[in-house]
Amino acid sequence: MQIVILNDATEVAAYGADIFTAQLNKNANSILGLATGSTPVALYQALIERNKAGEMSFKGVTSFNLDEYLGLDGSHLQSYRHFMNSQLFDHIDIDNANTFVPPGDAKNPISACHEYEEKIAQKGGIDIQLLGIGRNGHIGFNEPSSGLTSRTRVKTLTKATIDDNARFFGADEYQPHLSITMGIGTILDAKKVVLLATGDNKADAIQAMIEGPLTAACPASALQMHRDAVIVIDTAAASKLKDIEFYRHIEAENQKLQAYLASL
């Protein structure tokens, strides 16, 4: 894992936006894996600004979102489809027909999961997968105990996740307790994975992901097995790392190596 520790959430968003901008300028037909939640909002804002400034285009891009609530259709204000339209897709030059979110209103959710996997494979696989992390170490809606090689499937949400996300739902509004989510195996298949985390409420999960054992009890620890996982965090999210100075040192050395390679 490449561990990048930055000062604050603004720097984390800008660093993430740099990775996505470079990817789109390298391959205009990139396949992007996207996430919802509070963490990527600033990154999406940065991408919108860069797209409007002509720094890159989404015209050839195909996107696949990690997850969706089962039981909400895309017009529901709390659906992840609605989130993606309002936070990103409606403001960039992407072709909406090339944006995929698991169908929360699928009549047969099990076949919808298989079809989602097939669609990703058909498009040639995901180039960069964006991730946030839950306080319990979940990625996507892969809650603790999720199989480390799991594929897209229906998952039951933990009480912790339901409580964390209750802030988005009205007091008397139906809040789903099931989801369709890419599996951990699906996420690990992405060529590159970029996980963003900010704030001290993520510090325990970040510590477990980076320094804990590889275990289904912390689904994000599966990223220890990925060949190109970049973990971009602010100092608050990094605050419980035991070996923080070593990670800063490795990254400084990495920067020097990149600068040297660029000078060749």
Residue among 130, 143, 129, 159 at smallest CA distance from 205: 143
Residue 206 interacts with ligand F6R (CB under 6 A)?
no
Distance of closest approach, residue 181 Cβ to ligand F6R, in angstroms: 7
Residue among 2, 46, 41 at smallest CA distance from 20: 46
* 143 assigned to active site: yes
Residue 221 interacts with ligand F6R (CB under 6 A)?
no
Nearest to ligand F6R of 59, 135 (CB atom) = 135
Q: How far apart are the first and last CA of the chain?
A: 25
Q: How far is CA 140 from the centre of its chain?
A: 7
Sign of CA dihedral 45, 50, 54, 57: negative
Residue 231 interacts with ligand F6R (CB under 6 A)?
no
Residue facing ligand F6R at closest CB distance: 132
Residue 67 interacts with ligand F6R (CB under 6 A)?
yes
Distance of closest approach, residue 227 Cβ to ligand F6R, in angstroms: 21
Sign of CA dihedral 170, 173, 176, 182: negative
From 16-24, 129-137, 147-155, 236-244, give the range in contact with ligand F6R by CB under 6 A.
Answer: 129-137
Distance of closest approach, residue 79 Cβ to ligand F6R, in angstroms: 11
Residues 248 and 154: their CA atoms lie apart, in Å, by: 38
Active site residues: 67, 136, 138, 143
Binding site for ligand F6R (CB under 6 A): 35-39, 66-67, 132-134, 138-141
